[in-house]
Amino acid sequence: MNAPTVLRDLALFLSSVLGIYNILIWIRILFSWIQLPGQMRGTQQEGPIITFIGKIVDPFLNMFKGVRGLSTKTIDFSPLLAFALLSIVKSLLQIYGQTGSLTLAVTVALILQTLYSYMISPFFVIFIILLVVRLYFCYRRTPTTIAMARGLETIIGGLLNFVQKTFFGSRGVANKTLIIASLIFTVVLYVLVRIGFVYLIHYIAYL
């Protein structure tokens, strides 16, 4: 039996509110990367509008900052988890508002699809990009690119070590060879994971 109209309307309203909240989070993140007019470099001074938005969204974003494995010294991935959670709740409310019902299969499939789209896929894409940039630095060695390469290896070093131990063992290989092997491994794994999630989500959704 479908839910009462008032509950469906409430679900659609809350879904719209979460959509607006999602936009506010994007604004907050984007302006944290941009120096505002009149803002002194290196200070935390913000305009009144951004400060107000921060009071609304920062408590939610801060909930995910302590999650292990989502941040490094240079990159913080925790907002991805925040966006994933918002997207799941928003989509569930939207489905409930439009259909008046929710099934366990649809809910699980939606959660898996969202986690893949917001967490797993971005991780693969980011690491593929970083590996391509690191490979480029192998062919263009200058004091600047050498310093930048060292910075990149603080992020991708774990992956490089894994590929070294898994495919080369204790045998020494050239840095360029290791990076190419890591890039191939990451791309192949990305494709396999994507295929696996597509089939899993399709299977669960039609249970």
pLDDT score, position 127: 93
Asked if the model's pLDDT at residue 41 lies above 50, the reply is no
Tokens of 172: 């020494």
What's the average model confidence in pLDDT over 17-25? 94
Tell me the whole-structure pTM to 2 decimals: 0.77
Distance CA 43, CA 56 (A): 21
Asked if the model's pLDDT at residue 38 lies above 60, the reply is no
34 falls in which pLDDT band (50, 70, 90)? low
Asked if the model's pLDDT at residue 99 lies above 50, the reply is yes
3 falls in which pLDDT band (50, 70, 90)? low
Mean pLDDT of the chain: 86
Give the closest residue to 186 by CA, choosing from 146, 109, 130.
Answer: 130
The conformational region for residue 36 under phi > 0 = left, psi -120 to 50 = alpha, else beta, is beta
Q: Could you give the number of structural domains in the chain?
A: 1
Angle of the 175-205 helix axis to the 104-115 helix axis, nearest 10: 160
**Domain carrying residue 35:** 5-205
Distances (CA, A) of 58 to 10, 24, 55, 91: 25, 10, 6, 22
71 bridge partner residues = 76
What's the average model confidence in pLDDT over 1-20? 86
Please name the residue ranges forming H helices in 100-205: 104-115, 121-139, 143-163, 175-205
